[in-house]
A and B are shown apart, each in its own frame.
Chain A
Amino acid sequence: MKKAMVNQTECVACGVCKKVCPRQAITIFHGIYAEVNEDLCVGCRKCEKACPASVIQVVQKEVKA
């Protein structure tokens, strides 16, 4: 399964990813960094393309057993 991953130490918490996410899978943790709810993320790459800081990558993740 493909999932979005945020580099949280470099994230600026601008909220662009949250806005473009069609699944409402992203929240901004107390204005510090973006967090992805992997259960909701479908790996569509919208956030990855929109992130102005380029700190989101969609990566292959192992499916939970």
Chain B
Amino acid sequence: MKKWNEYLWIFSALYLTLGFFNILFAWIGMICFITPLLLSIIGKGKLYCNSYCGRGQLFELLGDRLKLSSNRNIPAFLRSKWFRYGFLVFFMTMFGLMIFSTYLVFNGSNNLKEVVTLLWTIQLPWNWTNTSSVSPWIAQFAFGFYSVMLTSTILGLLTMIFFKPRSWCVYCPMGTMTQGISMLKYKKEINKIR
């Protein structure tokens, strides 16, 4: 029988859908940022990636079961340390800029911009949600965070189609971070073996 955590792809699919109805649901995605980091910090390694990542399961479902993946090997440069750490730095820089623009709305320098930005360039007007019930900065973060989640899903879907289903896992910034944290935490154990 399947375990509950094997159905987490439903959570991921639902999350992406809910953002189309109300952008404020984007905040729920923080779970996917905080949980893997906390688990690796307390010494559980990549438990989140290994057992609880709904996005990974979604790519598996689409790529394997629905046969949308070409199952080709990922190009060597995409799995190189340079690319993985480089993508992490780029991703975190863009994330930092998103936090900064949230801050500018928080301190009143900028007005709320109701757009979702895909692939860091394409701006989609997203003004059908009434966000007046919350502070503008809360809504601004939701737009920014949903942009991050949607962009990474698109990249993951593209590599799922062209390469193996879970190719996203190779360069996922969260995965690179949790592996890095685990390496720092278990440095001695690795040195003992190698």
Contact = CB atoms under 8 A, between A and B. Distances in A.
Nearest to A55: B79
A55 B170 CA distance: 11
A31 B166 contact: no
SS class of chain B's interface: helix, strand, loop or mixed?
A: helix
B46 A14 contact: yes
Contacts of B189: 29-30
Nearest to A19: B50
Contacts of A29: 45, 189
Contacts of B47: 31
Interface residues of A, number: 20
Given A31-B182, A50-B164, A54-B79, A13 B74 contact: no
Interface of B: 40, 43-47, 49-51, 56, 60, 71, 73-74, 79, 84, 163-170, 175-176, 178-179, 181-183, 185-186, 189-190
24 contacts: A10-B79, A12-B79, A12-B170, A12-B175, A12-B176, A14-B49, A14-B56, A16-B166, A28-B45, A28-B46, A29-B189, A30-B45, A30-B182, A30-B186, A31-B45, A31-B47, A31-B178, A31-B179, A32-B186, A50-B164, A51-B164, A52-B163, A52-B170, A55-B79
